[in-house]
Amino acid sequence: MKLLRRTVILMTGLVATLTAHHAAAAPTPVAFPANFRSGVLYNVVDRDDRAEVHEQYTSHEAIEAARAGKPLPMGTDIVSANYRARLNAQGDPVRDPKGNLVAGELDRITVMEKHPGGGASYPEALRNGDWDFALFTPDGRVSTQVPISECLACHKPHQQLDYVKTYFAMAGKRVESHPAPVPAGAVVTTVMRFAVNPARLTVQAGTPVTWINADEPAHQFLVEGASAKTDYLLKGQTGTVRLREPGTYRYHDTFYPAVEALQGVIEVR
């Protein structure tokens, strides 16, 4: 009986120790950034596909690191305050004299936070280094409007940008003043306001296919099933691929893979 009691005590102590260790090892939840507007507003993106305006904030230290082409420092928070675009009486988005969407009501706040072990709780196929993600309602409650797994999958391909899709904007790189010329005989599609036009292209095998980015955000296009993709395209830059095998190929933007207006089809004959 004493042996049984001693065993129970030892097991209870072991469970308590393991529980305490697990609690200590558990990642710290990302906190609601109540004072996010005190950071540096480094980017404003019109999401024409959603009729939204996204304002993005971070720290001076992160801006300096990006301008130097370095990974962002531990402790960096990146906040995107996502506003619904203001609508007119007809239900169309209101634009300012420059053609930009006018922000209306704040809809949600997304946060990327970098800290040691921040991504340890995610499976390796989704983990973004030490970055953790969170989504909040405007009043600070945790939101499930967008699954965190979608955020992780969307940022995962961009390790060379420290998983930050707005890294170029953070670094002050927005417009390419000396873009590469469009190859002779290329079939061209243009990217503007979060859409490609035309989205469907028909080409002969080996013909250059070129995307011209006339949009404010950077884009990158991946041709599925062909191991072909463009470089990252700033505004004004062009990206070209050549498909030499006949077939029908789908393509999408690696920055915004779920945006249908940034997807298309290339038919190679």
85-136: pLDDT as tens digits: 999 999 999 999 999 999 999 999 999 999 999 989 999 999 999 999 999 9
Q: Which two tokens stand for residue 79?
A: 């906040």
- Domains in the chain (CATH in brackets) are 36-170 (3.50.70.20), 187-268 (2.60.40.420)
- Please write the tens of the pLDDT for every residue from 165-207: 999 999 999 998 788 899 999 999 999 999 999 999 999 999 9
Is residue 161 within 8 A of residue 220, CB to CB? The reply is: no
pLDDT digit string, tens, across residues 5-59: 333 333 334 333 323 333 333 445 899 999 999 999 999 999 999 999 999 999 9
Structure confidence at residue 28 (pLDDT)? 57
The answer to whether the beta carbons of residues 213 and 219 sit under 8 Å apart is: yes
- Cross-strand partners of 197: 190
What is the 8-class DSSP label of residue 32?
P
What are 246's two structure tokens?
A: 């006949």
Structure tokens at 171: 């670094």
- The verdict on whether omega for the bond into residue 198 sits within 30 degrees of 0, i.e. cis, is yes
* C-alpha to C-alpha distance for 262 and 108, rounded to whole angstroms: 23
Where does the pLDDT of residue 163 fall: very low under 50, low under 70, confident under 90, or very high at 90 and above?
very high
C-alpha R_g of the chain: 23
CB 235 within 8 A of CB 215: yes
pTM for this predicted structure? 0.84
Rounded Cα–Cα distance for residues 108 and 172 (Å): 25
Give the pLDDT score at 261.
97
Whether the Cβ atoms of residue 215 and residue 221 lie closer than 8 Å to each other: no
Q: What is the chain's mean pLDDT, rounded?
A: 89
User: Is 190 exposed, middle or buried, given 0-12, 13-18 or 19+ CB atoms closer than 10 A?
Assistant: middle
